[in-house]
Amino acid sequence: MANQMSSSCFLIHLLLLLLLLQLLLPSTEAAAAYDITSFGAKPDGHSDSTRPFLDAWSAACRSSGPATVHVPAGTFLIGPTTFPGPCKSSSIIVQIDGTLVAAPSSHASEDWLLFHHVAGVSVYGGTIDGRGASLWSCKANGHNCPRGATSLRFLGSKNIVISGLTSINSELYHIVIDDSQGVTVQGVKISAPGNSPNTDGVHVQMSTDVTVTGTGIKTGDDCISIGPGTTNLWIERVTCGPGHGISIGSLGKEDQEQGVQNVTVKSTVFTGTENGLRIKTWGRPSDGFVRGVVFEHALMQNVQNPIIIDQNYCPDGNSCPNQQSSSGVKISQVSYNDIQGSSASQVAVKFDCSSSNPCSGIGLQDVKLTYGNSAAEATCEHADGSASSAVEPPSCLL
Ligand SMILES: *[C@@H]1O[C@H](CO)[C@@H](O)[C@H](O)[C@H]1NC(C)=O
DSSP-based three-state secondary structure for 38: helix
Is beta strand 330-343 parallel, antiparallel or unpaired with respect to 202-205?
A: unpaired
Cβ of 262 less than 6 Å from ligand 1: yes
Cβ of 234 less than 6 Å from ligand 1: yes
Closest Cα to atom 3 of ligand 1: 232
pLDDT above 80 for 322: no
The answer to whether the Cα torsion of 110, 202, 164, 74 is positive or negative is positive
Rounded distance from Cα 209 to ligand 1 centre (Å): 8
Rounded distance from Cα 262 to ligand 1 centre (Å): 6
Could you tell me the domains of the chain?
29-219 (2.160.20.10), 222-315+325-398 (2.160.20.10)
Cβ contact 129:98 at 8 Å: no
Cβ contact 191:218 at 8 Å: yes
Cβ of 184 less than 6 Å from ligand 1: no
Q: Which of 212, 147, 145 is nearest to 176 (CA)?
A: 212
Least confident range of 55-69, 105-119, 161-175, 233-247? 105-119
pLDDT above 60 for 177: yes
Is 214 exposed, middle or buried, given 0-12, 13-18 or 19+ CB atoms closer than 10 A?
middle
Classify each residue of 307-327 as buried b or exposed e, where b means 16 or more C-beta atoms within 10 Å of its C-beta.
bbbbbbbbeeeeebeeeebbb
Closest Cα to atom 9 of ligand 1: 232
Q: Which atom of ligand 1 is nearest to the CA of 211?
A: 5
Catalytic amino acids? 244
Rounded distance from Cα 223 to ligand 1 centre (Å): 22
Sheet containing 305-313: order of strands: 81-84, 111-116, 150-155, 175-178, 202-205, 224-226, 246-251, 275-282, 305-313, 347-352, 377-381
Backbone angles phi, psi at 129, to 5 degrees: -120, 110
Closest Cα to atom 2 of ligand 1: 232
What is the Cα–Cα distance from 226 to 310, expressed in whole angstroms? Answer: 15
Q: In this structure, what DSSP letter does residue 317 have?
A: G
pTM passes above 0.75: yes
**Amino acid (one-letter) located at 211:** T
Cβ of 232 less than 6 Å from ligand 1: yes
Least confident range of 133-142, 193-202, 208-217, 378-387? 133-142
DSSP-based three-state secondary structure for 227: coil
Closest Cα to atom 7 of ligand 1: 232
DSSP 78-108: E-SEEEE---S-S-EEEEE-SEEEEPSP-S-
- pLDDT number for residue 244: 98
- pLDDT tens-place string over residues 127-156: 999 999 999 999 999 878 889 999 999 999
Cβ contact 375:349 at 8 Å: no
Cβ of 213 less than 6 Å from ligand 1: no
Rounded distance from Cα 159 to ligand 1 centre (Å): 16
Q: Which atom of ligand 1 is nearest to the CA of 210?
A: 5
Out of 210, 233, 262, 295, give the residue to mutate to test ligand 1, the one with the largest number of ligand atoms within 8 Å of its CB. Answer: 262
